[in-house]
Amino acid sequence: MIARTSAFKIIGLTLLPLATLGSTAAGLAALAPQSSPAPSPLILTLGQSHAANAALAATPPDLTAAAQASHRALAEAPYDSSSRLRLAYLDSLDGELSAEGLAHLELSYELLPLDQYVSTWRVGFALEYWGALTPELRKQVETEATTFLKTSRRREMVATLEAVTSPTGAVPAVFWRERLKRRPPK
């Protein structure tokens, strides 16, 4: 009799939490809407980025479509550095970086000061328009460049610094590379 009571206690202690979990899950499922959930902002943003990149890759590039897709991506995900940088790039196609393009570049640094996915492109772009950058933005660019020069992405960043064509941007690029060479190895 005692063994039978113990068996019921064990079964009860095992099944009670499972039954509670099951009824909670059923209650939550009943509250959930029956329609399919909206796609996540990340997926939407990636879709907009693909649309913008496809518009830029077209022959001839569809700059209006690229800008519209980038703006849609930012409406869905305001922290999307790629879309901000794409808008800065589109702004620079006339050879100058306007206040709007500069604002997109600045905001990309404010939102994500070190971005492994765009760092080499962003540093190279910033150096090409070095004369238009504020002292604060220049410091952020330097921090990103010198930080990535100390990582496994060093080779990529060195290649970016060596590719700068703007005379005003080439000066800091050379300085950062040389400063790295003089530092004793760890």
pLDDT (tens digit, 9 = 90+) per residue, 115-162? 888 999 999 999 999 999 999 999 999 999 999 999 988 999 999 999
CB 48 within 8 A of CB 69: yes
- The pLDDT assigned to 56 comes to 86
- The pLDDT assigned to 3 comes to 54
Question: C-alpha distances in angstroms, 38 versus 48, 108, 128, 155?
Answer: 16, 27, 40, 41
Residue 47 has pLDDT above 50, yes or no: yes
Residue 24 has pLDDT above 50, yes or no: no
Q: Where are the domains of the chain?
A: 40-112, 115-186
Nearest to 163 by CA among 131, 124, 133, 129: 124
Cis peptide before 60 (omega within 30 of 0): yes
- The pLDDT assigned to 43 comes to 41
pLDDT, greater one: 61 or 37:
61
Question: d(Cα 52, Cα 4) in Å, to the nearest integer?
Answer: 70
8 band by pLDDT with thresholds 50, 70 and 90: very low
Nearest to 123 by CA among 81, 71, 182: 81
